[in-house]
């Protein structure tokens, strides 16, 4: 079965020189260096499809959709193809042509049933008082994002931290819609647009001065909505001395897991902490809600990625892993079925970590 992509996409795909630069920063490729896990194989198969050299199969669809969606490979292509963006465009074309890969069915179904791609069992706002109502015209509105509602301890720490920074903080609570960012990168543009519009409508009713996003993917994907990522907001608060740390206790050697994207906020926050050693994360080490598809459909691969991270932490003699994105924190702690420590290494989300230091 031949696939006709739009001309511009086919032409971009044909410019790939097969150098493998996009494999270098790929989190999945770095699990075990298997060619089929990296981006080069995805671009190659799309290019062959567009030239009619291979038939479309469910296996190919799965291959094109089942990546960790970090987007880091965009910056590693010597001919400027932005391979992850190409992948997202190709996914959108498949959906438009009516090819919905089986690997995304659970995510779509959860979204249609309960309004979140995270899973049917998610109950939003269970960390808030039962009579909670969002407040209008607040200084800060905390857009928690779907994963935050699963990691209740992180949600509570984050609200406490935001209230230390600004006295006037609200959130949406049980009716908070998903931003649609995950659906957008899975090529589901219509579903994503509906969800985003829904969120924007609610925000315009509540009219906060600023929206702080607990979901890094939302802040990464939607450059047109004026959200500030949680860690950037914390960094601003440190720089403007709205939060100050006392003398540091202990001798932490920290391996940071940043969110994916160009934002360096986590590292910048950690650099402000005297007395702690901050290790440099390799380019493949990032994680956010984009990993959800792998997490939900290939738990074995996700576990192997976690093991790879833990081995790296051991090699570097880290005794503490600090995670920027709540989705990453929730997926890691759920997979390992433990919170607090893994193999003797402490695991914290940035909000809990900062709250601990402020005690
Ligand atoms: S988006 Fe990330 S996980 Fe997917 S191929 Fe690119 S680097 Fe790998
Ligand atoms: S880095 Fe660019 S040119 Fe090289 S294999 Fe990847 S997409 Fe192709």
Assign residue 316 the CATH number of its domain. 3.40.50
Q: Which range among 84-93, 221-230, 232-241 shows the weakest confidence by mean pLDDT?
A: 221-230
The percentage of residues in the chain with a pLDDT greater than 90, rounded to a whole number, is: 82
Q: How far is the CA of 54 from the centre of ligand 2 (A)?
A: 20
Q: How far is the CA of 86 from the centre of ligand 2 (A)?
A: 11
Tokens 């190919």, located at residue: 60
**DSSP-assigned beta bridge partners for residue 278:** 254
> Measured between alpha carbons, how far is 225 from 231 in angstroms, rounded to an integer?
17
Asked if residue 341 has pLDDT above 80, the reply is no
Q: For the chain, where are the E strands, in sequence order? A: 140-143, 169-171, 210-213, 227-229, 253-257, 277-278, 320-323, 341-342, 345-349
132 part of a folded domain: no
324 part of a folded domain: yes
Domain boundary among 99, 119, 153: 99
298 part of a folded domain: yes
> Measured between alpha carbons, how far is 192 from 185 in angstroms, rounded to an integer?
9
The percentage of residues in the chain with a pLDDT greater than 70, rounded to a whole number, is: 98
Q: Which ligand is nearest to the CA of 288?
A: 1
Residues with CB under 6 A from ligand 1: 25-28, 39, 67-73, 84
Q: Which atom of ligand 2 is nearest to the CA of 17?
A: 3
Which pair of tokens denotes residue 131? 């009579």
Asked if residue 51 has pLDDT above 60, the reply is yes
Please answer whether residues 171 and 202 qualify as being in contact, where contact means their C-beta atoms are separated by less than 8 angstroms. Answer: no
Reduced to 3 states (helix: H, G, I; strand: E, B; else coil), residue 12 is helix
Q: Tens digit of pLDDT for each residue in 269-306?
A: 999 887 889 999 899 999 999 999 999 989 999 999 99
Q: Which atom of ligand 1 is nearest to the CA of 67?
A: 4
Q: How far is the CA of 285 from the centre of ligand 1 (A)?
A: 11
The parent domain of residue 35 ranges over 7-99
Residue 139's pLDDT band, with cuts at 50, 70 and 90, is: very high
Which pair of tokens denotes residue 236? 């601003």
Please answer whether residues 193 and 181 qualify as being in contact, where contact means their C-beta atoms are separated by less than 8 angstroms. Answer: no
Assign residue 85 the CATH number of its domain. 1.10.1060.10
| 324: CB partners within 8 A, 6+ apart | 216, 231, 256, 257, 258, 259, 265, 266, 288, 349, 350
Asked if residue 144 has pLDDT above 70, the reply is yes
Q: Mean pLDDT throughout 208-227? A: 92
Confidence at residue 124, expressed as pLDDT on a 0 to 100 scale: 94
| Minimal-distance CA residue to ligand 1 atom 8 | 26
| Minimal-distance CA residue to ligand 2 atom 4 | 19
Q: How far is the CA of 253 from the centre of ligand 2 (A)?
A: 35
Residues with CB under 6 A from ligand 2: 16-22, 39-40, 43, 76-77, 79, 81, 83
| Minimal-distance CA residue to ligand 1 atom 7 | 26
Domain boundary among 78, 99, 120: 99
Asked if residue 95 has pLDDT above 70, the reply is yes
Q: Which of 293, 297, 313, 306 is nearest to 335 (CA)?
A: 306
Q: Mean pLDDT throughout 57-78? A: 95
Asked if residue 1 has pLDDT above 60, the reply is no
For 305-347, the DSSP string reads HHHHHHHHHHHTT-SEEEES-HHHHHHHHHHHT-SSEETTEEE
Tokens 């976690």, located at residue: 306
Q: How far is the CA of 79 from the centre of ligand 2 (A)?
A: 7
Q: Tens digit of pLDDT for each residue in 250-268?
A: 689 999 999 998 789 999 9
74 part of a folded domain: yes
Q: Which ligand is nearest to the CA of 20?
A: 2
Q: Which of 259, 337, 331, 343 is nearest to 302 (CA)?
A: 331
Q: Which atom of ligand 2 is nearest to the CA of 23?
A: 6
351 part of a folded domain: yes
Residue 177's pLDDT band, with cuts at 50, 70 and 90, is: very high
Q: How far is the CA of 17 from the centre of ligand 2 (A)?
A: 6
Asked if residue 249 has pLDDT above 80, the reply is no
Confidence at residue 2, expressed as pLDDT on a 0 to 100 scale: 65
Residue 247 has what DSSP assignment? Answer: S
Confidence at residue 343, expressed as pLDDT on a 0 to 100 scale: 79
Please answer whether residues 229 and 327 qualify as being in contact, where contact means their C-beta atoms are separated by less than 8 angstroms. Answer: no
Q: Tens digit of pLDDT for each residue in 2-29?
A: 688 999 999 999 999 999 999 999 999 9
172 part of a folded domain: no
Q: Mean pLDDT throughout 42-58? A: 95
Domain boundary among 99, 117, 150: 99
265 part of a folded domain: yes
Domain count along the chain: 2
The strands making up 227-229's β-sheet, listed across from edge to edge, are 169-171, 140-143, 210-213, 227-229
Q: Which of 276, 222, 214, 282 is nearest to 245 (CA)?
A: 276
Confidence at residue 22, expressed as pLDDT on a 0 to 100 scale: 98
Mean pLDDT, the chain, integer: 93
Q: Tens digit of pLDDT for each residue in 108-136?
A: 888 988 889 998 788 999 999 999 999 99
Q: How far is the CA of 37 from the centre of ligand 2 (A)?
A: 14
Counting Cβ atoms within 10 Å, is residue 175 exposed (0-12), middle (13-18) or buried (19+)?
exposed
| Minimal-distance CA residue to ligand 2 atom 2 | 77
Q: Which ligand is nearest to the CA of 86?
A: 2
230 part of a folded domain: no
Q: How far is the CA of 309 from the centre of ligand 2 (A)?
A: 25
């Amino acid at each position: 079965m031949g696939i006709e992509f739009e001309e511009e996409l086919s032409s971009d795909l044909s410019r790939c020189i097969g150098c493998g630069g996009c494999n270098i920063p790929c989190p999945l490729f770095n699990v075990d260096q298997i060619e089929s896990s990296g981006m080069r194989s995805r671009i190659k198969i799309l290019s062959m499809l567009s030239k009619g050299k291979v038939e479309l199969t469910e296996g190919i669809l799965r291959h094109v959709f089942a990546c960790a969606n970090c987007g880091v490979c965009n910056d590693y292509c010597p001919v400027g193809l932005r391979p992850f963006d190409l992948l997202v465009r190709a996914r959108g074309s498949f959906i438009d042509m009516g090819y919905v890969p089986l690997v995304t069915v659970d995510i779509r179904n959860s979204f249609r049933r309960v309004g979140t791609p995270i899973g049917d069992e998610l109950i939003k706002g269970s960390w808030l008082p039962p009579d909670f109502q969002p407040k209008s015209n607040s200084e800060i509105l905390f857009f928690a994002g779907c994963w935050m509602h699963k990691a209740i301890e992180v949600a509570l720490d984050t609200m406490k931290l935001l209230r230390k920074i600004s006295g006037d903080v609200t959130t949406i609570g049980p009716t908070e819609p998903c931003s649609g960012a995950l659906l957008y990168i899975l090529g589901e543009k219509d579903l994503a647009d509906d969800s985003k519009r829904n969120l924007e409508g609610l925000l315009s009713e509540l009219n906060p001065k600023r929206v702080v996003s607990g979901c890094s993917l939302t802040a990464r994907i939607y450059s047109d909505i004026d959200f500030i990522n949680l860690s950037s907001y914390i960094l601003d608060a440190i720089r403007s001395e709205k939060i100050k740390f006392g003398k540091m206790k202990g001798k932490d050697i920290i391996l940071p897991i940043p969110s994916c994207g160009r934002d360096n906020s986590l590292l910048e926050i950690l650099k402000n902490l005297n007395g702690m050693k901050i290790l440099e994360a390799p380019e493949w080490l990032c994680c956010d809600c984009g990993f959800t598809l792998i997490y939900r459909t290939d738990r074995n691969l996700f576990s192997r990625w976690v093991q790879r991270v833990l081995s790296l932490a051991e090699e570097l003699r880290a005794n503490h892993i600090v995670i920027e994105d709540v989705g990453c924190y929730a997926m890691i702690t759920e997979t390992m079925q433990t919170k607090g420590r893994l193999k003797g290494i402490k695991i914290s989300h940035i909000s809990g970590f900062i709250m601990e230091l402020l005690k």
